[in-house]
Amino acid sequence: MTALLELRGVTVSFDGFRALNDLNLSLQPGDLRAVIGPNGAGKTTFLDVITGKVRPSEGQVLFRGRSLVGISEHRIARLGIGRKFQTPRVYENLTVRRNLELAVSRRSPFALLFGRLDGSAQDRVQHLLRVVGLDPQAQQLAGGLAHGQKQWLEIAMLLAQDPDLLLVDEPVAGLSDEETDRTGQLLRSLAGDHTVIVIEHDMEFIRNLDSPVTVLHEGHVLCEGAMDTVQKDPRVIEVYLGVDDDHQPQP
């Protein structure tokens, strides 16, 4: 079986500084993968290079065997790659419902002008509003939501887009424990039908995901494996966990 996503020897340098350094990683369809690593390890850059925001100076990024290098962001997104950002990014001057409607719509200007949102798309919006518990806020401007609600709206927007590969950057930062649990359940339930990469600092959350973990350090894969094995790896302890055993979620 060909990998859904494969990075081969990817290097990204910013003025000589290597944010990613000979990164290799491969995901099969349906995988759920957690990515951890200290601040500045290159986790966000890793997503940038997949989604076309930055171009690797060396190496290959393959999606279903097809190279993504040099393809513009919106085309990569249309191939079925969706992304949630580290700080929640929603369209603040649109209502919650309209944020979701943009996410389920077809992307061409003419489709938006002349087409109406069909029944199944409307149902999907309604369903997602309920899934993330924002039904009562549907008509409110997204800018007025609380931080956690914005996180969830963005997750809902990602789901509305219905990508094959979901790249989720720090989904539980600023969420309450209960919300964190529900987010974990949601992501786990997506795996199988979707391929999911989750970046987090919250170790408890990662452990509950119960998925293989990739540890990034200085732009390179330090090690891969189950959470328990990874945590015992002396290299990991040295660079990451050893520093601060009960690592807290990012503020």
Partner 1 sequence: MLSSSSSGGSLRRWAPWVLIVAASIILPAVLPPFRLNLLGRFLSLGIVALGVDLIWGYTGLLSLGQGIFFALGGYAIGMHLSLNSLEPGQLPEFFGLYGVKELPAFWQPFASPLFTLVALWTIPALVAGVLGYLVFRNRIKGVYFSILTQAALLVFFNFFNGQQRLINGTNGLKTDTARLFGELVGSDAMQRNLFWLTVLLVVAAWLLCRWLTRGRFGDALVAIRDDEPRMRFTGYNPTAYKTLVFTVAGALAGISGALYTVQSGIVSPQYMAVPFSIEMVIWVAVGGRGTLIGAVLGAVLINYARSLISEQLPETWLFVQGALFLLVVTGLPDGLVGWWRQGGLQHLLAMLGRAPRASTYPGLDLDPSVQAEKSSFLSHPPGGEP
Ligand X SMILES: Nc1ncnc2c1ncn2[C@@H]1O[C@H](COP(=O)(O)OP(=O)(O)OP(=O)(O)O)[C@@H](O)[C@H]1O
11 binds ligand X (CB under 6 A): no
How long a stretch of residues is the chain? 251
Q: Which is nearer to ligand X, 125 or 196 (CB)?
A: 196
Q: Which is nearer to ligand X, 142 or 199 (CB)?
A: 199
Q: Quote the tokens at residue 243.
A: 């520093």
When binding is defined by CB under 6 A, the residue of 4, 5, 7, 19 that contacts ligand X is: 19
Residue 83: contacted member of partner 1, ligand X, Mg ion, none (CB under 5 to 8 Å, by partner type): partner 1
Partner touching 72 among Mg ion, ligand X, partner 1, none, CB below 5 to 8 Å by kind? partner 1
**Which residues form the interface with partner 1 (CB under 8 A)?**
51, 53, 72-74, 77-78, 82-83, 85, 89, 91-94, 98, 101-103, 105, 107-109, 112-113, 117, 157, 161
44 binds Mg ion (CB under 5 A): yes
Q: Which stretch binds ligand X (CB under 6 A): 33-41, 189-197, 205-213, 221-229?
A: 33-41
61/206 with CB nearer partner 1: 61
Residues contacting residue 92 through CB under 8 Å, at least 6 positions apart: 141, 142, 143
Cα-atom radius of gyration of the chain, to the nearest Å? Answer: 18
Angle, helices 119-131 vs 147-161, to 10°: value is 150
Q: Answer with the entry of Mg ion, ligand X, partner 1, none that 45 interacts with (C-beta below 5 to 8 A by kind).
A: ligand X
Instruction: Select 43 or 97, whichever has its Cβ closest to Mg ion.
Output: 43
For 146-209, the three-class secondary structure string (H helix, E strand, C coil) is CHHHHHHHHHHHHHHHCCCEEEEECCCCCCCHHHHHHHHHHHHHHECCEEEEEECCCHHHHHHH
213 pairs with which residues across the strands? Answer: 34, 225
52 close to 71: Cβ distance less than 8 angstroms: yes
- Are residues 239 and 222 in contact, defined by beta-carbon separation less than 8 angstroms? yes
**Binds 131, which of partner 1, Mg ion, ligand X, none (CB < 5 to 8 A, cut-off by type)?**
none
Amino acid at 82: G
Each residue 86-125 as x (binds ligand X by CB under 6 A) or -, in order, gives x---------------------------------------
The C-alpha angle 246, 236, 197, rounded to 5 degrees, equals 80
**Binding interface with ligand X (CB under 6 A):** 14, 17, 19, 37, 39-45, 86
